[in-house]
């Protein structure tokens, strides 16, 4: 059974996080990055926007801990921030989204192409 393209895309992006080497990075920190990225990926289609505060409330981590991991994910261009109005409508918050880069789209397309060839044989 072939996984669908969204699962292949998720796996490809998760592998990219695990391959990225940061100075003094622990395995636990990389696992936090994978978990955080997965949450953003899964929650970004919800009605409520994904914000650092929302992730902090869901995970029990402090805003600082979430922020530190987000900086790393943004540095390797897997997550982006978009300015939105906050819940009260008087100020701004940062919505977090999985970055849809041209490189990621090309890789998903190539994976889909290989997957479809395997199904025929």
The C-alpha angle 98, 111, 27, rounded to 5 degrees, equals: 50
d(CA 36, CA 59): 9
pLDDT in tens, 36-76: 988 988 898 899 999 999 999 999 999 999 999 999 888 88
Strand spans (E) along the chain: 79-85, 92-98
Domain extent for 49: 5-120
How many domains does the chain contain in total? 1
pTM: 0.73
pLDDT in tens, 94-117: 999 988 876 556 645 665 665 566
Res 96: pLDDT: 96
Q: Which CATH number fits the domain that encloses residue 92?
A: 1.10.10.10
d(CA 21, CA 3): 28
């Amino acid at each position: 059974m072939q996984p669908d393209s969204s699962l292949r895309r998720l796996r490809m992006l998760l592998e990219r996080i695990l391959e990225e080497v940061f100075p003094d990075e622990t395995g636990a920190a990389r696992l936090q990055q994978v978990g955080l990225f997965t949450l953003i990926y899964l929650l970004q289609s919800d009605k409520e926007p994904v914000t650092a505060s929302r992730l902090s409330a869901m995970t029990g981590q402090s805003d600082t801990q979430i922020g530190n991991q987000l900086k790393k994910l943004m540095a390797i261009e897997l997550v982006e921030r978009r300015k939105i109005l906050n819940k009260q409508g008087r100020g701004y918050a940062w919505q977090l989204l999985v970055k849809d880069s041209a490189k990621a789209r090309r890789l998903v397309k190539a994976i889909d192409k290989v997957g479809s060839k395997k199904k025929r044989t």
